[in-house]
């Protein structure tokens, strides 16, 4: 790792952008300096340049937040945009039927990154949000992506440590291996109470033009006897998205997991 004085300007700017979170979208320059380990004067100078380019913005109280320009460039260039566009009509159809949460997630490192989410005012509890993340082994989307993911990723997660969100979370190597095998056998993930005991997640894989799994489409519904009825809805929608992406016929398998 480079010493602080050897770190490039781009690396320092990246650290500033990464200092923001969904819970704290606006920060003072002092808070940014503390989170990044930068000197306040350095942080202030770089923030000023990022604001000038529109990558950061300032509120009336001089607090700093991510700028609209950065969002514009990310959306314009991101390959995730075509995936989201292909999925949205199907997600809206599922949401009309299910009436709770419908989500689209992709693999990013050791986590699921959620690109889109449709919800409702009185929907069951759900910890995900757009641009939010969840553990691969604890969520329905994550289990689908992990089941179809690289072997080294599986082994790395199986080596632990695994944190149990509830007693139902497959947070041991034995339980996680069994859960992944079930996803591959069924073609979907069904996870009752994995993240929250009142919620159940069902997820199915979305495949790209090369037949590989590129995303997971999931729903989060109440953890009750009626949840099983949403499985065919999710699987059908995931196959529809796969076809829209040009996936080979017959390769649009699915997955279910109860409890996000």
pLDDT digits (tens, 9 = 90+) for 238-247: 999 999 999 8
Residue 257 has pLDDT above 70, yes or no: no
Chain segment 58-115, per-residue pLDDT in tens: 998 999 999 988 878 876 766 677 888 899 999 999 999 999 999 999 999 899 999 8
The domain total for the chain is 2
- Are 238 and 123 within one domain? yes
- Are 87 and 59 within one domain? no
Separation of alpha carbons 181 and 175, rounded Å? 10
Q: What is the four-CA torsion angle of 36, 39, 43, 46, rounded to 10 degrees? A: -110
- Are 215 and 87 within one domain? yes
- Are 133 and 224 within one domain? yes
Within 10 Å of residue 228's Cβ, how many Cβ atoms?
13
- Is residue 251 included in any domain, yes or no? no
- Is residue 123 included in any domain, yes or no? yes
- Is residue 166 included in any domain, yes or no? yes
- Are 40 and 169 within one domain? no
- Are 238 and 125 within one domain? yes
**When comparing pLDDT for 206 and 72, which is higher?**
206
Residue 178 has pLDDT above 90, yes or no: yes
Contacts of 33 (CB under 8 A, 6+ apart): 39, 40, 42, 43, 44
Q: Give the per-residue pLDDT at 3.
A: 45
Separation of alpha carbons 251 and 243, rounded Å? 9
Separation of alpha carbons 206 and 50, rounded Å? 37
- Are 207 and 117 within one domain? yes
- Is residue 211 included in any domain, yes or no? yes
- Are 111 and 26 within one domain? no
- Are 56 and 107 within one domain? no
- Is residue 24 included in any domain, yes or no? yes
- Is residue 249 included in any domain, yes or no? no
- Are 66 and 88 within one domain? no
Give percent of the chain above pLDDT 90.
Answer: 68
Angle between helices 151-158 and 173-186 (to 10 degrees): 150
The model carries a pTM of 0.76
- Residue 103 belongs to what domain range? 78-244
């Amino acid at each position: 790792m480079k010493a602080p004085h050897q770190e490039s300007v781009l690396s320092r700017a990246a650290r500033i952008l990464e200092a923001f979170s969904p819970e704290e979208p606006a920060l003072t320059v002092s808070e940014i300096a503390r989170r990044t380990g930068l000197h306040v004067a350095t942080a202030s100078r770089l923030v000023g340049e990022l604001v000038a380019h529109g990558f950061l913005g300032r509120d009336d109280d001089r607090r700093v937040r991510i700028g609209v320009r950065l969002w514009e460039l990310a959306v314009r260039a991101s390959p995730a945009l075509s995936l989201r566009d292909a999925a949205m009509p199907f997600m809206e159809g599922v949401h009309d039927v299910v009436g709770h949460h419908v989500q689209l997630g992709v693999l990013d490192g050791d986590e699921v990154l959620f690109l889109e989410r449709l919800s409702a005012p009185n929907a069951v509890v759900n910890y995900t949000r757009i641009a939010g993340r969840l553990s691969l082994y604890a969520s329905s989307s994550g289990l689908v992506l992990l089941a179809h993911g690289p072997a080294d990723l599986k082994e790395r997660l199986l080596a632990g440590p695994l944190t149990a969100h509830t007693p139902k979370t497959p947070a041991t190597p034995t339980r996680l291996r069994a859960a992944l095998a079930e996803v591959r056998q069924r073609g979907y993930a069904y996870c009752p109470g994995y993240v929250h005991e009142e919620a159940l997640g069902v997820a199915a894989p979305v495949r790209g033009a090369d037949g590989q799994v590129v995303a997971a489409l999931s729903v989060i519904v109440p953890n009750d006897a009626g949840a099983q009825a949403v499985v065919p809805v999710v699987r059908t929608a995931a196959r529809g998205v796969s076809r829209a992406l040009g996936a080979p016929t017959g390769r649009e398998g699915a997955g279910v997991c109860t409890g996000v």
